[in-house]
Amino acid sequence: MSTDTLLQLKPAPVWKHFAALNAVPRPSKKEERVIEFMRSFGESLKLPTMVDEMGNVVIKKPASPGMEGRPTVILQSHLDMVHQKNEGTDFDFLTQGIRSKVEGDWVTAEGTTLGADNGIGVAAIMAVLESEDLKHPPIEALFTIDEETGMTGAKGLDEGLLEGKILMNLDSEEDDEITIGCAGGIDSNTHMAYTEEAVPAGSTALRLTIRGLKGGHSGMDIHKGRGNANKLMNRLLYKTGNAYGLRIASIDGGSLRNAIPRESTAVVVLPEGKVTAFQEALSERRAEIEQEFAAVEPDLNISMEPVGVPGKVMALKDQEKILAALYTVPNGVWRMSPEIPDLVETSTSLARVIVKDGEFITQSLQRSSIESGKHDVASAVRAAFESIGATVENDGDYPGWAPKADSKILRLMQPLYRELFEEEPKVAACHAGLECGIISQHYPGLDMISFGPTIRHPHSPDEKVRIASVEKFWRYLTGALERV
């Protein structure tokens, strides 16, 4: 889609800046270009613009006339985006801008993630900064980096940059919700060396592939019962392996630590005389899985095809241990909140599995709205892998954001929502990781709230944002700034 087409959407200032932002490659941990883009934007407006040592960008704008005595508001969004593409999509996230398109009332991308998470929030803040007619208090725009792969930007935020006492995070994904709390998270990364052996004589090799799963955000979508490609692949291998002499040469499943894995590929070796029986057994297992997931994964595809025989396979003793550990490790919802209806309190997602060249590696992400729950499920993951001799390292630990029902900004935002949209907003905590908890550690006492437009399937190539909800979100944001 051309920029001109996006500019036909309303509100035009937001879509203009979203199009410009999406033309800039902005993968997590490689945000140099988008940092410079944002610095140049602030300087072009002749507004005080700073970049801290981490790469976070702060742009400050004085209050509009008559609003000088109002409290300073921090508007916050993150610059990086999740990079996922469909198999077969020819796209280089490091050099190309996102190709957007309109489908009905939605904007989506051609075979890749869209970057509405959190690009719409960034674009809305840019529109506020550029506007000459909006009424608003003093603004401190905070654009953080690396939110999607560890929140290192928020963790390393310079504590002398901001003065505001109210923070509006624009990274929520339902336009009828006001978020007042979120989950914390921790990564569990495992490694184990395994023994390789020569392929037995008289062997045939097959490539097993799982594709077509919905994937999605491993926090917001973890309760939806979607298939995890890593767990499904292990189920196939574990259930059919021993009876047919199957030996594993390699496994490559998942991609990003915070996305439910959509695809997995394994290369396996079997005795020539057992290939047909194995294929028949695998077809039965495939039919079972497809029937189980028919309601939530209609595009699930499990295939097998012959490939060249590899040079090495995993030793049988290691293969048995690794498959057992992968079957044992928890995945999905660990506990629902006993206090907040329908809120996932604690979860875990097995995001990445690699078996290659004598190395077994996994990556998983545990989330919880309570610290003890987060560390409890991380311990369960650790136990599963340490039981086979794997090394487990935890990193990326970040805190949750505890809800405050007596928040002053919440008391402003609730009645404003009712006034603007003639309906009651949902006030809730979410199971995603927002940067609010981390930022409040640097700036204690912040009064925080999060809201945003309706975004579906973030962290997957099916990501899309509802056009009408962006206009609604913009009305809500500008209305709130006028009322603070």
- Find where tokens 């913009």 sit: 474
CA–CA gap between residue 234 and residue 167 (Å, rounded)? 44
Nearest partner of 54 among 150, 183, 170, judged by Cα: 150
Sheet strands (E) in 149-263: 166-169, 177-182, 184-193, 196-198, 203-211, 247-253
**Three-class secondary structure of residue 233 per DSSP:** helix
**CA quadruple 24, 148, 156, 165: dihedral positive or negative?**
positive
- Return the amino acid letter for 193: A
Cis peptide, bond prior to residue 242, ω within 30 of zero:
no
Active site residue 53: no
Tokens of 397: 């630990």
SS3 423: coil
Question: Which of 80, 146, 187, 462 is labelled catalytic?
Answer: 80
Q: In the structure encoding, which two tokens stand for residue 192, read together?
A: 């184990």
Measured distance CA(355)–CA(371) in Å, rounded: 32
Told to judge if 80 belongs to the known catalytic residues of this protein, a careful annotator would answer: yes
CA dist 199 and 417 (Å) reads: 65
The one catalytic residue in 31, 117, 140, 147 is 147
Q: Are 389 and 325 in contact (CB under 8 A)?
A: no
3-state secondary structure (DSSP) of residue 409: helix
Contacts of 168 (CB under 8 A, 6+ apart): 73, 74, 75, 76, 409, 448, 449, 450, 451, 477, 480
**What is the distance between the terminal CA atoms of the chain, rounded to a whole angstrom?**
37
Question: Which amino acid would we find at residue 207?
Answer: R
Residues forming the active site: 80, 147
